Chains A and B, each alone.
Chain A
Amino acid sequence: MGLLVLALLVALAPVYWMVTISLKTEIDQFARPPKWFTFTPTLEHYYDAFVTRSFSEYLLTSAIVAVVSTACALVIGTLAAYALTRFRLPYNLDRKLSLWILSTRMFPAIVTAVPLFLMMRDLRLVNTKAALIIVYTGFNLPFVVWMMRGFFAEVPRDLEEAALVDGDSRLGALVRVVLPLVTPGLAATAVFCLIVCWNEFLFALVLTQTDAAMTLPVGIAGRVTQYEIKWGVMSAAGAVAMVPILVFALAMQKYLVRGLSLGAVKG
């Protein structure tokens, strides 16, 4: 039991520290010995980050990009996952395709960073939200397919067959009968995708050039100057960046575990 409490402290103390930095004046930030609890809080860094600087813009960009690309990945990926689970294709194509789709998840991001940048440049999409959305959809697609395949496999086909007998089309059966059953899976997958998009750094770094298209991680990383590191601003932005994910993840906790276990155990 004690071990668990220690683990919890180790997990949460650094996060707590960052939040306190965001609320401390600069003198307090560097005080020796470190002030864990005894300081007067100030909101100046939050004001600096979100009103004076462009962090509200970054926040909005991150949100839009995450939501749209997750939605796209979910739609495209779920359809593909359904097809690969339910239909037997000649030459074992369904197995091979699934494996290939999965393998793309193994790519280190840096491998595709340069070609994708050049592609976006040729499409004149560099420094736009569209570029990030497209790239992130590509990122999340293999994961969606993998997860949803596991969930679809759990659903016996008799239910769809029954719906067909009742006069429904294949797609209709999918939507009316199967999807409601896999909603927890969809939710878990959606949360994962949102988190991946929200936290992504490398592509956002490479593909954005001005404040109009930068996401939160890029904005946070950009506050390192030669003469001083703006810890207050970075911590304030970091604290706010944490909130949506934590809320989502904690609300979806049960489904996350189920989703991971299905994905992990069934493979």
Chain B
Amino acid sequence: MIRTTTLIFAALFLVLLVAASSCTKRGSNARLTIAAIEGVEGEALKQAAVDYEKFTGVHIDVVQFPYANLFDKELLDLNSRTGAYDLLMMDDPWFPRFAESAFLTNLMPLLQKHGKDGPDPDFVAKSVAVCRHPYQTGSLYALPYVGNSQLFFYRKDLFAKYNLKPPATWDDVLAASKAIQEKEKAPDGGKMYGYVMRAAQGNAAVADFMPIFWAFGAEMFDAQGKPTVNSPEGIAALQFMVDLGKYTPPGYVSFNASEVSAHLLQGTAAMSINWPAWISAFGDPAKSKVIGKIEFTTLPSGRKPGQAEIGNWLIAIPRSSQNADLAISFLLWATNSEQMKRSAQRGNPPTRKSLFQDPELVKQFPAYPAQLRSLETSRPRPRTSHWNEIENTFGIFLSKANSGELSPADAMNQANAEIEKILQRAGQ
């Protein structure tokens, strides 16, 4: 009897404790919650939050999630208006979905309250363009925080060794991959690969494929908005990716950034596309076996000049946030020149022109001029609010073609059919 009573009382006590702790969460006024990406970009924001607290006393909770989960969480919070997050860090392809459904706060009125009549002209134009809905011309719903735009990495030492010209076209890339893979061995005696890429289904495969797709002259949608991935150019592009796959480490069908990075750093692959956020790692003796051997250039051309894909991280304020004023203050502070410079020093490419040209930063990151060029001529992925579903589906078929399950023609045809289905459903 005593045992049961004590058990019941203990349980009740715990329940009260829990209830009390959940209640105090909503009490305090001066706090913000940010949903951020787990990784270098989110870490920089976390540091900024810590600095801000020292500066103003406002406590900021930065909650980090892996890439796919971050989207899920943000979508869920926005749709259900739970108001859990005051600021959202989002990858620019997600932006159309969030902005179109009127989930985000229009930043212009808030900027005006702070005496500004628009986003700082120092921001790179392309970065601000993705923060507007409709693209480039519409209202401003976010500010750009991380200025990622693709670069092409290659081993200049190996290119010199085999008398290869720096890769200017994708054909160059294929030829060089073949040459290097056949003749060279990896530093640890193992096999050397000419190229390495991400082809994990979903965001990874699509992000690495789009530059090839565009260079071959293909487009995802025609002028009426119908999907055209299975155009002859599109199929040729996918065929090329599969051909390039012969000179890529096996298993690349599930590679994401970590595997690509590992191969480049270990010196087992000679070329790759990717985001500049790892340039610092290449110079880090603890991680890199290829210090001083990597060169960066803009993306190779095909039928059309090479265009980098833009992949900026933006920060927006949900409509359901209870602390919009506090949020905009933090946002403006975090994206000002001084703070963004700090973030850059931590490895995040900035979104301000002046910082790309800042002598201190250029010394730390010699690729900045190339990055700025890449950013200014970059191109975003299609700005459709159904991008996530389309990317998911498209990525599956890219993966299947690369794993040999489907021929490039079949993969593109099926992908096109599925994308059509998605758009039809949405049209209802």
Contact = CB atoms under 8 A, between A and B. Distances in A.
A contacts B: CB pair < 8 Å: yes
Interface of A: 27, 32, 64, 67-68, 71-72, 74-75, 117-118, 121, 126-130, 133, 175-176, 179, 205-206, 209-213, 221-229
Contacts of B82: 121, 126-127, 209
B84 A130 contact: no
Interface in B230-283: 256-258, 261, 277-278
Interface in B81-109: 82, 84-85
Given A121-B80, A222-B69, A227 B11 contact: no
Contact of A227 (B4, B39, B69, B73): B39
Interface string B2-37: 001001101100110111011001000000010101
Contacts of A176: 1
A124 B69 CA distance: 22
Given A64-B14, A209-B77, A223 B38 contact: yes
B219 interface: no
B4 A179 contact: yes
A64 B18 contact: yes
A229 B258 contact: yes
Contact of A226 (B80, B85, B257): B257
Given A129-B21, A223-B38, A175 B61 contact: no
Given A126-B84, A228-B258, A222 B14 contact: no
Interface residues on B, range: 35 or more
Contacts of A227: 39-40, 257-258, 261, 277-278
Contact of A68 (B18, B64, B69, B77): B18
A211 B61 contact: yes
**Most chain B beta-carbon contacts within 10 A, residue among A67, A121, A175, A226:** A226
B135 interface: no
Interface in B33-70: 33, 35, 37-40, 61, 63-67, 69
A209 B19 contact: no
A179 B10 CA distance: 18
Contact of B39 (A64, A71, A226): A226
Contacts of A223: 38, 66
Interface in B277-309: 277-278, 286
B157 to A, nearest CB: 23
Contacts of A117: 76, 80
A205 B65 CA distance: 11
Contacts of A221: 66
B18 A72 contact: no
B110 to A, nearest CB: 23
- Secondary structure type dominating chain A contacts: helix
B80 A225 contact: no
Contacts of A68: 11, 14-15, 18
A11 B405 CA distance: 34
A133 B17 CA distance: 13
Contacts of A64: 14, 17-18
A128 B11 CA distance: 17
B22 A222 contact: no
Contacts of B84: 126-127, 209-210
Nearest to B11: A71
A209 B18 contact: no
Given A209-B82, A211-B61, A226-B39, A175 B4 contact: yes
Nearest to A125: B22
29 contacts: A27-B286, A64-B14, A68-B11, A71-B11, A117-B76, A117-B80, A126-B84, A127-B84, A128-B25, A129-B18, A129-B21, A129-B22, A175-B1, A205-B69, A209-B77, A209-B82, A210-B33, A211-B61, A213-B22, A222-B38, A222-B69, A223-B38, A225-B38, A225-B67, A225-B258, A226-B66, A226-B257, A227-B258, A228-B258
Nearest to A71: B11
Contacts of B261: 227-228
6 tightest A-B CB contacts, nearest first: A225-B39, A71-B11, A128-B22, A209-B84, A224-B66, A225-B38
B63 A130 contact: no
A245 to B, nearest CB: 19
Contacts of A67: 14
A128 B76 CA distance: 16
B74 to A, nearest CB: 10
A214 B67 CA distance: 18
Given A179-B4, A227-B261, A227-B278, A222 B64 contact: yes
A130 B23 CA distance: 10
